[in-house]
């Protein structure tokens, strides 16, 4: 169990690093979008590459932060019933949910996204708009994000198991925060 | 198991899976995938359907309407952390303090102003709870009125543009965000006026519940007060113009409006010398986390709805709802009652992402104007923040309210405002003109602008134009399925 907890804290630290860095992309997106809007209105000029840059950055931001959000227990739950259950039962819900919901979904989407990514890379797929950006980097975000999410899922499961064995305090508690 | 049973079973599965209490995004997706495998095993669905999943995710990533969500959230957080709410409340409270119920009016007024700038319910309620509630308590306001008016005014952020709910609703209904913003403006302001009207009634019939501030509590007077009002009103008004003005005039798309608002908020915070590194980091991280969980619910619900449509679930829902007695009117009543009660348990994200895609096509088929329908649902969902026992606004207020205010005071205080909300829903149903008359003019004005995004959005409700390469690929795949 201790080796697993070590693995869990490695994953946590890594995803926290990734999430905190990726979060800053939103600032970049805000600046690019503001400049785009002003330039378009002022000199009536617009560039598809810069327009697409906005959503590339935003997409990378929310996809790569997802694992960190899971670590912070920020993904919304319906806790009408679960909120009344004991922490132990909630930990079981998270273990079962992680195994049956999170891991299959994340791995499956990551798996299915791979052929499209390879294909996009091979044919050098570009956006269909003139002057648009090359597509594979943003497609690459999908498998990366879902693999990170799967890893975080594994880490959360390890922490819940350790909690059930009484090795660590309840991992769900001290992260809950409102945004 | 026959084909017809799949959709109802899937829906029942959804309810069970969501109630388990695991994060909604993954529960939704897992439920969809489970039924996808069942369907594929039974030969009802093609395995190729699953290959559409990554394309759907890419479609969500490329959606420029949703880009407005982090922009507006970021703007709201920067404004909140740089202390705009505190300043406004303090100053407007001094201004209105001399009249009976003055602080309560100030709360409604500032609530509406904050709604039009920050648009974050939690921020508004917490700021007003921390600043105005103690003042109201000290000078003898009724606990119920004080907490009710704060909780309710905070929820105005949900309906007065630039509200996030309206962005999500517009995206899910294929309507334009700009139209929904224009449509929601009058109902939103009317609501604020009705809150103020309620305060007036209380101050007439129960003057003790809403006293005026004694002279010694009003520290700012004369010229100093006027100067404070001007200086603290200017920044929000500039931002409102920057964001809503440019959107309504058709100069900027809602997404650009959001970005400019966020830039404006950063500049304001810089000017006030409030922009510290820590503030920025917090705002960036909170924005990212929130955007991520919202978009992941959308990803989950997309997985669900891809499969749900695959088993003709959309037709099942349509048949159920079109067959209601009373036609369009019956549909509206049932939908509103349903959402009102669902909102006891579900967030507005969940309602918007799960229910609205099922309801919007039916509404369209019944000849209901989607912008009007969206605003109606928006007002209804705003109520969900307010009604006991699970209203978020009430939670936020509870978290900052002093101990002498009992949770029951907050609950009872919210009830008159929930009634006002219900009256407002009835008004929107009875007089669609307050939403639509306003929008049709504007739609013409917007179509003149060159923004590609706007054209696409305006064209979307009538004939869904392929959104981009990814979405078009999915549409093709779905057609091949049928």
**Looking at CA atoms only, how far is residue B46 from chain A in angstroms?**
15
- Distance in angstroms (rounded) separating the CA atoms of residues A147 and A11: 11
What pLDDT does B180 receive?
92
The pLDDT of residue B1 is above 60: no
Spatial separation of the C-alpha atoms in residues A173 and A159, rounded to whole Å: 12
Query: Given CB atoms, is A47 within the 8 Å cutoff of chain B?
Result: no
B contacts of A105 (beta carbons < 8 Å): 26, 29-30, 33, 300, 303
Those residues with Cβ within 8 angstroms of residue B283's Cβ, 6 or more apart along the chain or in another chain: B74, B77, B78, B81
* Contact criterion met (CB below 8 Å) for B360 and B173: yes
Of B25, B51, B71, the CB nearest to A112: B51
* Gap from B324 CA to chain A (nearest CA, Å): 29
Mean pLDDT of A115-135: 88
Q: What mean pLDDT do residues B72-81 have?
A: 87
Residue with structure tokens 């997309």? B302
- Residue A77's Cβ-side half-sphere holds a number of Cα atoms within 13 Å equal to 22
Q: So what's the pLDDT on residue B449? A: 32
Q: In Å, how far is A167's CA from the nearest CA of chain B?
A: 23
pLDDT score for B455: 35
Element housing B341 (H / E): helix B327-342
Confirm or reject contact between A142 and chain B (CB < 8 A). yes
pLDDT tens per residue, range B373-403: 999 999 998 888 888 877 888 888 988 888 8
Nearest CA in chain A to B255: A33
Interface test with B, best of A21, A58, A116 (most B CBs within 10 A): A58
- Token readout for B301 is 């619900």
pLDDT digits (tens, 9 = 90+) for B10-50: 989 988 888 888 998 999 999 999 999 999 988 888 888 88
Token representation of residue B285: 């991280």
Which residue of chain A has the CA closest to B70? A26
For residue B19, give the nearest of A78, A96, A108 by CB distance.
Answer: A78
Report, as an integer, the average pLDDT of B107-136. 86
Highest mean pLDDT among A37-41, B114-118, B180-184: B180-184
Average pLDDT for chain B: 84
Whether residue B454 has pLDDT greater than 50:
no
Classified as helix, coil or strand, B43 is coil
Among the listed residues B179, B181, B173, B123, the one whose alpha carbon sits nearest the alpha carbon of residue B150: B123
pLDDT in tens, B285-327: 999 998 998 899 899 988 998 899 888 888 888 888 888 888 8
A61 neighbourhood in chain B, CB within 8 Å:
70, 288, 291-292
Do A109 and B288 lie within an 8 Å CB cutoff?
no
pLDDT at B470 over 90: no
How far CA A103 is from CA of A109, A149, A161, B50, B100, in Å, comes to: 10, 8, 16, 16, 59
A13, A47, A64: which is closest to A133 by C-alpha?
A47
The answer to whether the CB of B370 falls within 8 A of the CB of B173 is yes
Return the minimum-mean-pLDDT range out of A111-125, B85-99, B306-320, B458-472.
B458-472
Interface membership of A124 toward B (CB under 8 Å): no
The residue of chain A nearest to residue B267, with distances taken between CA atoms, is: A31
Candidates A21, A55, A179: best to mutate against B (most CBs of B within 10 A) is A179
Q: How confident is the model at residue B460 (pLDDT cuts 50, 70, 90)?
A: very low
Is the pLDDT confidence value at B108 over 90?
yes
ipTM field? 0.93
pLDDT digits (tens, 9 = 90+) for A40-85: 888 877 788 888 999 999 999 999 999 999 999 888 787 777 778 8
């Amino acid at each position: 169990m201790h080796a697993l907890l070590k693995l869990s804290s490695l994953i946590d630290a890594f995803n926290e690093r990734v999430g905190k860095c990726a979060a800053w992309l939103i600032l970049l997106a805000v600046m690019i979008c503001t400049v785009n809007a002003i330039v378009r209105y002022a000199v009536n000029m617009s560039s598809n590459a810069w327009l697409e840059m906005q959503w590339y950055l935003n997409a990378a931001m929310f996809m790569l932060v997802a694992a960190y959000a899971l670590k912070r227990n920020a993904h919304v739950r319906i806790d009408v019933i679960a909120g009344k259950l004991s922490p132990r039962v909630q930990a079981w819900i998270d273990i079962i949910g992680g195994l049956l919901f999170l891991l299959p979904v994340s791995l499956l989407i990551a798996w299915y996204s791979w052929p499209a990514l390879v294909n996009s890379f091979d044919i050098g797929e570009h956006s269909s708009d003139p002057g648009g950006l090359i597509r594979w980097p943003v497609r690459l975000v999908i498998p990366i994000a879902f693999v990170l999410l799967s890893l975080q899922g594994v880490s959360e499961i390890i922490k819940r198991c350790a909690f059930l064995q009484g090795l660590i305090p309840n991992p769900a508690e001290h992260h809950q925060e409102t945004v | 198991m026959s084909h017809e049973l799949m959709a109802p079973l899937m829906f029942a599965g959804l309810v069970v899976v969501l109630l388990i209490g695991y994060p909604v995004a993954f529960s939704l997706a897992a439920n969809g995938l489970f039924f996808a495998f069942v369907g594929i095993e039974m030969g009802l669905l093609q395995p190729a359907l699953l290959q559409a999943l990554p394309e759907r995710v890419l479609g969500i990533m490329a959606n420029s309407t949703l880009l407005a969500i982090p922009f507006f959230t970021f703007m709201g957080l920067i404004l909140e952390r740089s202390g705009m709410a505190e300043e406004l409340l303090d100053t407007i409270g001094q201004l209105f303090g001399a009249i009976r119920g003055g602080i309560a009016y100030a709360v409604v007024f500032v609530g509406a102003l904050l709604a039009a700038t920050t648009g974050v319910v939690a921020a508004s309620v917490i700021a007003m709870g921390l600043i105005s509630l103690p003042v109201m308590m000290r000078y003898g306001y009724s606990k119920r009125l004080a907490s009710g008016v704060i909780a309710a005014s905070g929820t105005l952020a949900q309906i007065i543009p630039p509200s996030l709910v309206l962005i999500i609703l517009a995206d899910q209904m294929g309507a334009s965000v700009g139209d929904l913003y224009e449509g929601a403006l009058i109902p939103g302001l009317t609501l604020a006026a009705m809150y103020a009207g309620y305060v007036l009634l209380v101050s007439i019939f129960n003057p003790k519940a809403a006293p005026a501030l004694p002279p010694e509590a009003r520290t700012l007077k004369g010229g100093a007060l006027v100067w404070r009002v001007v200086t603290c009103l200017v920044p929000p008004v500039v931002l409102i113009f920057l964001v809503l003005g440019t959107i309504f005039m058709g100069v900027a798309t809602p997404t650009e409006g959001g970005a400019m608002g966020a830039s404006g908020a950063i500049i304001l915070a810089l000017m006030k010398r409030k922009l510290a590194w820590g503030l920025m980091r917090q705002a960036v991280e909170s924005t990212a986390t929130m955007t991520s969980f919202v978009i992941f619910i959308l990803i989950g619900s997309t997985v669900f709805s891809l499969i749900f449509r695959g088993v003709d679930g959309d037709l099942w829902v349509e048949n159920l709802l079109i067959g209601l007695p009373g036609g369009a009117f019956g549909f509206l009543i049932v939908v509103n009652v349903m959402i009102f009660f669902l909102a006891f348990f579900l967030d507005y994200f969940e309602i918007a992402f799960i229910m609205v895609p099922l309801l919007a096509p039916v509404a369209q088929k019944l000849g209901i104007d989607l912008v009007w329908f969206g605003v109606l649902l928006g007002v209804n969902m705003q109520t969900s923040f307010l009604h006991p026992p699970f209203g978020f606004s009430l939670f936020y207020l509870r978290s900052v309210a002093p101990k002498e205010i009992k949770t029951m005071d907050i609950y009872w205080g919210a009830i008159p405002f929930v009634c006002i909300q219900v009256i407002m829903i009835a008004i929107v149903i009875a007089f669609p003109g307050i939403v639509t008359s306003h929008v049709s003019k504007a739609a013409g004005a917007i179509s003149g602008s060159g923004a590609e995004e706007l054209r696409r959005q305006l064209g979307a409700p009538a004939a869904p134009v392929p959104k981009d390469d990814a979405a078009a690929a999915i549409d093709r795949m779905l057609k091949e399925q049928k």
